[in-house]
Each structure stands twice: as C-alpha cells, then as structure tokens.
Amino acid sequence: MDFKHEKSRIYLENEDGNCIAEVTFPEVSNDKVNVNHTYVDRSLRGQGVADKLMTALALDLRKNNKKATATCSYAVDWFEKHQDFEDVYK
C-alpha cells in the first residue's frame, strides 16, 4: 500500500484522490502524539488496512523518538495487542 504521510496523518487515497483510509495523530507535546482517529472505507475492510496504518504510524514514532497516547478505541486496542511497539505507547 502506498500510504501518504503528513505531520499528523497517514492516509491512503483512491485513484480519484479521495481519502479511503487514515489514521490521525495530533501532537500533544514535542515528543508525544494522540492517536485520535482511524478510518477505513468499506471497500477495504477486512483486508488489514487499519493494522497496516497503525504499523506505519508506530514505525514512524519509533524512528522519530516519539510516543503515543490514544483516544481512538481501535488504536488503544491495537497497541494492547502489539506489545512489540510498547516502546512508543504511553
């Protein structure tokens, strides 16, 4: 998947340029973000796209020495299930 990266967002567009999947994570301090939203279009559900978005985010956080909190229920659950990224959560 060819995700696009912005300062507080990782997303996927369809061929028409419409957002069809995203995770948003505004900064709460210089070294911390809040994962507050995940979205996957119905056409992509069941294909692991949300998991891939979260993995991309976690890898970016690790690379940039940042940590995340989460108010998005999917993100909270994802971090709890992915202990290999505990270094970037909370």
Q: What is the pLDDT of residues 18-33, one digit of tens each?
A: 999 999 999 999 999 9
Give dist(CA 26, CA 34) in Å, integer.
6
Give the model confidence (pLDDT) of 36-79 as tens digits.
999 999 999 999 999 999 999 999 999 999 999 999 999 999 99
Query: Could you tell me the CATH number of the domain that includes residue 77?
Result: 3.40.630.30
Angle between helix axes 73-81 and 49-63 (nearest 10 degrees) is 70
The residues, ordered by sequence, that sit 6+ positions from 27 with a Cβ below 8 Å of its Cβ are: 7, 8, 33
Q: CA-to-CA distance for 69 and 27, rounded, in angstroms?
A: 10
CB atoms within 10 A of CB 58: 22
Q: How many domains does the chain have?
A: 1
The domain of 57 spans: 4-88
